[in-house]
Amino acid sequence: MCSIFDGKEDHLGLSSGFEIPGIIAKLILRENLDGNVAMIKAGFTDNPRVGNNEGMLGILTKGKITRQDQIEQAIANALIYILFKK
């Protein structure tokens, strides 16, 4: 999610959502783990800072879609109203 303030109003943009593997969801919900720790415990990565790098989506898509892609998408979507307002 991104919020851009144009001096008068906030404009929000979202990136795409995705379903995370059940084992990761269970670890997050049942053991109160954050996504990084759950990814490690489930065997998807050994990087304790996955959220600061390719992100969960980058690992799950084998680099085809990354966290950076999601950030850019959210920013672009927040800019839509600013760029095209009448």
Write down the pTM of the prediction.
Answer: 0.75
pLDDT tens, residue by residue, 43-86: 999 998 888 888 899 999 999 999 899 999 999 999 998 888 75
Distances (CA, A) of 26 to 18, 29, 58: 16, 5, 20
| Structural domain that includes position 78 | 2-84
Give me the residue label for tokens 């892609």: 69
Q: Where residue 41 sits, what CATH number does that domain have?
A: 3.90.950.10
Number of domains in the chain: 1
Residues with Cβ within 8 Å of residue 73, at least 6 apart in sequence: 13, 15, 16
